[in-house]
Structure 1
Amino acid sequence: MDQVKPKGAGKSSFELINTNIFKQMLPIRQGGVILDLACGKGMYSVFLSQLAGPSGLVYAVDLWEEGLGILEENAREKKIDTIATIKADVTRQIDHIEAHSLDLCLMATVLHDFKEMNADRIVLKQVRNLLKPGGRLAIVEFKKMDGPPGPPEHIRLTPEETEKMVTAEGFKKVKSADIGDYNYMMTFSSPG
């Protein structure tokens, strides 16, 4: 298999966060429809599927086929049938998800990568189109400090940089919090 592993693939910030604070920040109801954008191995996807319950749906989208395979195997072992994996380059187009159908989109420690690739505006516009009016975008990022864990400090985003980038695409900030020693989280409401 000649597949190139996308930048950052294989690592997850999920093990670094306080899941109680993370859960409190998310407006997830039973039956919610959620997108885990650039999900990697899907540790967040599995957690989100538990919050949305058996009537919910989590789209787990990534370009990294091996990571999606790991997620599918993990979901089978845990008897989770509410996660739909989609292989897609989210900097181009996300097919298979209807416009204005999502209650929530999670971008966990990936916005800095999109920014570095100059694809942040494209991705945020797609997310805005997929979210229901008033739907939520949740962003987890690494605090702007020296690592590890996480990416080099020079590509990390401060909360102010994240807020400016996201609100420039029409989103409104709802709240923010530290969710561990290394990460912060911000939630935004989509226009409409």
Structure 2
Amino acid sequence: MKNVPIAAGKSSFGLVDTQALREALEPMEGLVILDAACGAGNYTLALARWAGLHSRIYAVDLWEEGVFELRRRIGDAGLSHVQAHVADLSQGTTLAQESVDLCLAATVIHDLVADGKVEGMLKALARTLKKEGRLAVVEFEKKPGPPGPPEALRLSPEALSTLVRPFGFSLTEIRPVGEALYLAIFAKV
């Protein structure tokens, strides 16, 4: 099978404190939201519920099997405001420039660093986010696991901020969103 990401089929969603994540991402009603590297869409479906029918949710991943599963789940749930696409965000995006209000990248940045593809994705997200748009990154705390990847692959909030800042983002908040996870929110400046 081609285009299978390192963590294909694994999701951190079951480890996340969904109430804490939802509160941190508010407001979402009526926004255009991108779930970057959505996998099979556990975060996507939560975003769709939280943001409501007046929002537009785009879910993108290069893992075809995951996106096809997400499309099935979207259809079963009757979520007409959600679209799932197969694409490698490290190669860019077909979404219009400055068209997205909020982008969620959940436990994927460390994998892209390991693959050497993080710059391409961060360029794509910077291009796609509106001015003052928010980039919300969920990552595993920099400590031994399990759960999650080996400690050597994990990004501390400081390392994440150093990685993201050159692409036009400013850190606005860091908060825990589970026993092993943190959320860093960046504003596009």
With the shorter chain as reference, the TM-score category is: over 0.9
Aligned-residue Cα RMSD (Å) equals 1.2
Q: Which string of whole-angstrom CA distances, capped at 9 and with x for unpartnered residues, describes residues 124-155 of structure 1?
A: 11101100100000000011122222111111
- Per the alignment, residue 124 of structure 1 pairs with 122
Once residues 61 and 108 of structure 1 are traced to their aligned partners in structure 2, the CA distance between those partners, rounded to angstroms, is 12
Amino acid at match of 2:47: L
Q: Which string of whole-angstrom CA distances, capped at 9 and with x for unpartnered residues, describes residues 54-96 of structure 1?
A: 111111000111101111111222221211111111111212x
Query: Aligned runs of 1:17-166 on 2, under 5 Å?
Result: 17-95=16-94, 97-166=95-164
- Tell whether the 8 Å contact from 2:90 to 2:122 is kept in structure 1 after alignment: no
My pick for the range that moved more, 2-11 or 35-44, is 2-11
Amino acid at match of 1:86: H
Unaligned runs of 5+ in 2: none
Q: Which string of whole-angstrom CA distances, capped at 9 and with x for unpartnered residues, describes residues 3-23 of structure 1?
A: 352210111111101111101
Unaligned runs of 5+ in 1: none
- Per the alignment, residue 183 of structure 1 pairs with 181
SS state at 2:46 partner: helix
Q: How many Å apart are 1:102 and its aligned residue? A: 0.3
Once residues 113 and 91 of structure 1 are traced to their aligned partners in structure 2, the CA distance between those partners, rounded to angstroms, is 12
Once residues 3 and 53 of structure 2 are traced to their aligned partners in structure 1, the CA distance between those partners, rounded to angstroms, is 34
- Tell whether the 8 Å contact from 1:61 to 1:87 is kept in structure 2 after alignment: yes
Once residues 32 and 13 of structure 2 are traced to their aligned partners in structure 1, the CA distance between those partners, rounded to angstroms, is 20
My pick for the range that moved more, 168-177 or 98-107, is 168-177
- Tell whether the 8 Å contact from 1:62 to 1:87 is kept in structure 2 after alignment: yes
2:6 counterpart of 1:7: yes
Moved over 4 A (4+): none
Once residues 101 and 40 of structure 1 are traced to their aligned partners in structure 2, the CA distance between those partners, rounded to angstroms, is 22
- Per the alignment, residue 174 of structure 1 pairs with 172
SS state at 1:5 partner: coil
Once residues 2 and 76 of structure 2 are traced to their aligned partners in structure 1, the CA distance between those partners, rounded to angstroms, is 25
Q: How many Å apart are 1:160 and its aligned residue? A: 0.8
Once residues 130 and 32 of structure 1 are traced to their aligned partners in structure 2, the CA distance between those partners, rounded to angstroms, is 14
Task: Give me the TM-score of the superposition, normalised by structure 2.
Answer: 0.96
Identify the structure with the greater helix proportion.
Answer: 2
Once residues 91 and 118 of structure 1 are traced to their aligned partners in structure 2, the CA distance between those partners, rounded to angstroms, is 9
- Tell whether the 8 Å contact from 2:107 to 2:138 is kept in structure 1 after alignment: yes
Q: Quick one: percent identity of the two aligned structures?
A: 39
Amino acid at match of 1:92: Q
